[in-house]
């Protein structure tokens, strides 16, 4: 993760044979999506489209797919709980940076960028992998989140921060004090910095500090031209601007990471007032759609980061898995060391109370001897272990904004399945059977006889 910037990362991908350059013209209208979708489903390389139709700026996609997440990252992530003791990675303010090589206050148009129209029935073109910076009006703390931006015209976009996200919270808080809220959007940076934008961190915990930790080097931040916000100095492209409080506009539809088109809804409007970029910028993007896509791999790494953090609060958790088909929040498989009656339900409620894990639509809790990374084993044992009426619990609460099945936007039901072995203290008086297993001596003997019989 110790890359200086996006192009440094691209060079490394290239050197390791993980990058395919496409030297001929490909259309950002649907065609790049089809390339990226086919490639990610086959474990293909990152793609660099050198001649996107209609723009002189190359498009990078699938750079985070497969296990290109550098190995070192995973090890580092396990150390995150110790972050509080480290503190040495606070972002550093610098006075200038490559993202300012070209400053355009008036003479810019978003049409110059190779922004994808991802799927046939999308409402337009979307910037899909931005780092959106805003400040908490009460505490002054920075937030960076990845929220898509629908292009409305040359200088305005949608601002798709969902209601539970930090950007939306800043917006709500700003409403009482000002008319406008400054927002800055950076596109393309070193992978740790880009990655930090999707981390579901607690409010007011600076993503840029975590990025510094992941890359073992503080992120250098430079002040915007037109506001007091700061952006990563090594970014490829920066859009500066504001959202007008109270101004909402129809956003969507968008072929989303659920694999369905997410519905249209009203979101704030981002007015771009200044664009800065490198002399020859790269445009980093992604597509989402029927899983698994690039975001599945990004999200899986998030899962691994948060397991050690979750275990700080809930040490009984052995392991957690989020199968691709569950698109993260729809299905969470959890194994626990069960210690007291009702323990599985305590864990479900704890997860529903934990940051963005509140969206977990179905939580299945199993005993620690079940390998949650093996979906077949979970299905087999869990389905055997449950008396549905007794072991399935429904609760009401906040649900993901993208959930198209909930009775209301953002509010609906969730399900917890207690698939642990039931105890007497839980009122279960029948004997509980063991899983069938052949005895070791017979297995060893048949190992020999197997060969003798000529079986393979
Ligand atoms: C490719 C990609 C696109 C995303 N698009 C959005 C989006 O449009 N709106 C949104 O609220 N969250 C989106 N997310 C999820 C957020 O980035 C994620 O919830 C993050 O934790 C938000 O940061 P925050 O906790 O600082 O608000 C996206 C994630 C990825 C990987
Ligand atoms: Mn945040």
pLDDT in tens, 89-140: 899 999 999 999 999 998 999 999 999 999 999 999 999 999 999 999 999 9
In terms of residues, how long is the chain? 456
State the pLDDT at residue 390: 98
By three-state DSSP, how is residue 189 classified? Answer: coil
209 pLDDT more than 80: yes
Residue where the block lists tokens 């008319």: 179
Ligand closest to 164 (CA) is 1
For 224-242, the three-class secondary structure string (H helix, E strand, C coil) is CCCCCCEEECCCCEEEEEE
Indicate whether residue 286 lines ligand 1 (CB < 6 A).
Answer: yes
Q: What is the band of 175 on the pLDDT scale with cuts at 50, 70, 90?
A: confident
Looking at the DSSP bridge assignments, the partners of residue 241 are 183, 272
**Interaxial angle between packed helices 71-78 and 294-313, expressed in degrees from 0 to 180 and rounded to the nearest 10:** 20
Question: Does residue 99 contact residue 235 with C-beta atoms inside 8 Å?
Answer: yes
What's the whole-number mean pLDDT along residues 5-29?
Answer: 97
> Which pair of tokens denotes residue 295?
């975001």
Report the DSSP beta bridge partners of residue 132. 145, 185
Cα 48–chain centre separation: 22
- Whether 129 is in the pocket of ligand 1, judged by its Cβ within 6 Å, is yes
pLDDT for 146: 98
Lowest mean pLDDT among 120-134, 177-191, 386-400: 177-191
Q: Is the pTM of this model over 0.85?
A: yes
In whole angstroms, what is the distance from residue 366 CA to residue 331 CA?
Answer: 13
* Ligand 2 center to 212 CA (angstroms): 15
CA of 97 to the centre of ligand 1 (A): 26
Task: State the residue for tokens 């039901």.
Answer: 413
Most ligand 1 atoms within 8 A of CB, residue of 165, 187, 197, 267 to mutate: 165
- Quick one: which of 271, 275, 274 has its CA closest to 243? 271
Q: Which of 355, 352, 372 is nearest to 416 (CA)?
A: 352
CB–CB of 238/99 below 8 Å?
A: yes
277 Cβ below 6 A of ligand 1: no
Judged against a pLDDT cut of 90, whether residue 80 lies above it is answered with no
- The residue to mutate among 145, 151, 183, having the most atoms of ligand 1 within 8 angstroms of its beta carbon, is 145
Cβ-based burial of 340 (10 A; exposed 0-12, middle 13-18, buried ≥19): exposed
Mean pLDDT over the full length of the chain: 95
Report yes or no: 430 and 424 within 8 Å, Cβ to Cβ. Answer: no
């Amino acid at each position: 993760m110790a890359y200086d910037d996006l192009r440094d990362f691209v060079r490394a991908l290239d050197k390791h044979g993980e990058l395919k350059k496409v030297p001929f013209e490909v259309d950002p209208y649907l065609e790049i999506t089809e390339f990226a979708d086919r490639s990610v489903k086959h474990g293909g390389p990152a793609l660099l489209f050198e001649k996107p139709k209609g723009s002189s700026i190359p498009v990078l996609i699938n750079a985070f797919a497969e296990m290109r997440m550098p190995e070192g990252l995973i090890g580092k992530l396990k150390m995150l709980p110790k972050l509080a003791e480290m503190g040495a990675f606070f972002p550093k303010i610098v006075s200038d940076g490559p993202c300012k090589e070209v400053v355009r206050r008036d003479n810019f148009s978003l049409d110059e960028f190779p922004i994808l129209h991802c799927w046939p029935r999308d409402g337009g073109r979307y910037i899909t992998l931005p780092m959106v910076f805003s400040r908490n009006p009460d505490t002054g703390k920075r937030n960076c989140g990845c929220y898509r931006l629908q292009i409305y015209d040359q200088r305005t976009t949608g601002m798709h921060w969902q209601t539970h996200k930090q950007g939306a919270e800043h917006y709500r808080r700003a409403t009482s004090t000002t008319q406008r809220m400054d927002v800055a959007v950076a596109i393309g940076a070193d992978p740790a910095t880009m990655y930090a934008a999707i981390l579901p961190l607690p409010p007011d915990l600076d993503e840029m500090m975590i990025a510094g930790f992941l890359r073992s080097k503080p992120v250098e931040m430079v002040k915007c031209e037109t506001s007091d916000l700061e952006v990563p100095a090594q970014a490829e492209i920066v859009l500066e601007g504001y959202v007008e409080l109270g101004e909402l506009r129809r956003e969507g539809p968008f072929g989303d990471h659920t694999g369905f088109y997410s519905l249209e809804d009203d979101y704030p409007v981002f007015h771009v007032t200044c664009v800065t970029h490198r002399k020859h910028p790269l445009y980093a993007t992604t597509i989402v759609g029927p899983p698994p896509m690039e975001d599945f791999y990004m999200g899986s790494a998030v899962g691994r980061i948060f397991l050690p953090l979750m275990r700080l609060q809930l040490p009984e958790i052995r392991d957690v898995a989020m199968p691709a088909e569950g698109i993260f929040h729809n299905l969470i498989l959890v194994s626990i060391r069960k210690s007291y009656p009702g323990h599985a339900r305590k864990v479900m409620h704890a997860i529903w109370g934990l940051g963005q894990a509140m969206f977990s639509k179905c939580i299945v809790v199993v005993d620690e001897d079940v390998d949650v990374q093996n979906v077949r084993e979970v299905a087999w044992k869990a389905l055997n272990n449950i008396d549905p009426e007794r072991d399935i619990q429904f609760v009401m609460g906040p649900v993901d904004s993208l959930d198209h099945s909930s009775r209301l936007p953002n509010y609906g039901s969730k399900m917890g399945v207690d698939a642990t072995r039931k105890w007497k203290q839980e009122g279960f008086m029948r004997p509980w059977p063991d899983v069938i297993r052949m005895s070791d001596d017979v297995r060893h003997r048949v190992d020999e006889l197997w060969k003798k019989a000529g079986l393979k």
